[in-house]
Amino acid sequence: MSTLQIKKAEPKLKTAEEALKEFMPAGRRVAPKRPFVLGLRLFAYMAKQRLLRRRKRFPLVTMLEPLEACNLTCDGCGRIREYEPVIHRMLTVEEAVAAVEASGAPIVSIAGGEPTMYPHLPELIKELVRRKYFIYCCTNGILLEKVMKQVPPSKYLAWVVHLDGMEERHDVSVARRGVFRVAMRAAKKALEGGYRVCSNSTLFKGADKQDLHQLFDLVTTMGFEGIMVSAGYDFAMAPDQELFLKRKESNALFQELLDDQSIKQFRFYNNPLYLDFLKGRRSYQCTAYSNPTYTIQGWREPCYPLADRHTQNVNDLFEPALWERYGVGKNPKCANCMMHCGFESATIFEAFKNPKDMMVMLKGIATQKSGVGAS
């Protein structure tokens, strides 16, 4: 479905029941599960990097941005503004695959921009699946239905649909009416077609607990594999700086959202240690070298949300001197950052040193309710 096919005049869904009726996938489905082999691969990879290669800093997830153009203009988005002068440029499939190989991480998160606008996306995904990378393809859902016809389902592939709330709130968040419905219909089709589907919600000022719980309930009932949550990063180039939460405000919001018995029924993809961090109950230093981010201008340095420069050598991102300048308490640009890429990976690295934390994380992975976020 193209952007032009968004029906602007459709009446809004009034209740969660109406939404469920409209978006519940047809047919009998098995309970969604993250492939067990993904956890095994990641564990083996980390053990190899740490014990055999003696690497202190190494990537877990390659963030691949084959283009920065998008068919939306969300107020909280830095990318479409930051790359405005080169927004017409795209990576070739060869360049994209070479970046993934140079990083070497077993998981690839394809982001942007809007990856479904990348004309070579089916070819890129097929090539990465052939090489047995686990792919999370992030999308606003507008073109998903059209693009998925060209990509067969695979245990190596999950679509990650951007959803910041139920219809009213999500459409405000992405600054266009009708997007929630189009994205949810695409998610329904994807689930019916046997694809793995996750959701990703970024929380900004004014996020509403009840609305988000309705969303989490809806996607869990529909059969999404997992829900990812994160606090928005205060991108300097985003036009509405009022949207962004300070660290303490994020902690209070996540406490309100997650300290609630009802969340036990939701299937979070983030691991329990990261959820505790979001609530302000654990402290970690940023390990954003775990998510090197490749764009049309090269690797973002130092990290996914922040690019003070671009480099052509991924190994620059693992240099100790770089991390003396970035992280909480080291750089004012890091003061409010609580993003997955910096801190969910930190919970994983720390759990490798702390058996008690490792048990908490393994328990989450074993129950398929939490684990490794994609971005």
Q: C-alpha 352: how far from its chain's center?
A: 23
Out of 59, 106, 113, 292, the residue judged to bind ligand SF4 by CB under 6 A: 113
Among 49, 65, 67, 79, binds ligand SF4 (CB under 6 A): 79
Nearer to ligand SF4, 234 or 357 (CB): 234
- Residue 70 beta carbon to ligand SF4: minimum distance, rounded to whole angstroms: 3
Is residue 73 a contact residue for ligand SF4 (CB under 6 A)?
Answer: yes
Among 32, 165, 327, 373, binds ligand SF4 (CB under 6 A): 327
User: Looking at 99, 105, 124, 303, which residue binds ligand SF4 (CB under 6 A)?
Assistant: 303
Residue 140 in the binding site for ligand SF4 (CB under 6 A): yes
326 scored as a contact of ligand SF4 (CB under 6 A): yes
Which residue in 286, 287, 279, 273 sits closest to 328, CA to CA?
Answer: 286
Tell me: does residue 74 bind ligand SF4 (CB under 6 A): yes
Question: Judged by CB under 6 A, which stretch of 7-15, 99-107, 274-282, 338-346 contacts ligand SF4?
Answer: 338-346
Interface with ligand SF4 in residues 38-67 (CB under 6 A): none
Q: Which of 114, 167, 301, 316 binds ligand SF4 (CB under 6 A)?
A: 114
Cis peptide before 113 (omega within 30 of 0): yes
Q: Which stretch binds ligand SF4 (CB under 6 A): 4-12, 58-66, 109-117, 210-218?
A: 109-117
Asked if 342 is part of the footprint of ligand SF4 (rule: CB under 6 A), the reply reads yes
Token duo for residue 293: 């981010």
Between 114 and 225, name the residue whose CB sits nearer to ligand SF4: 114
State in Å, rounded, how far the first CA of the chain is from the last one. Answer: 26
Would you tell me which residues interact with ligand SF4 (CB under 6 A)? 70, 72-74, 77, 79-80, 112-114, 140, 162, 174, 286, 288, 302-303, 305-306, 326-328, 333-334, 337, 339, 341-342
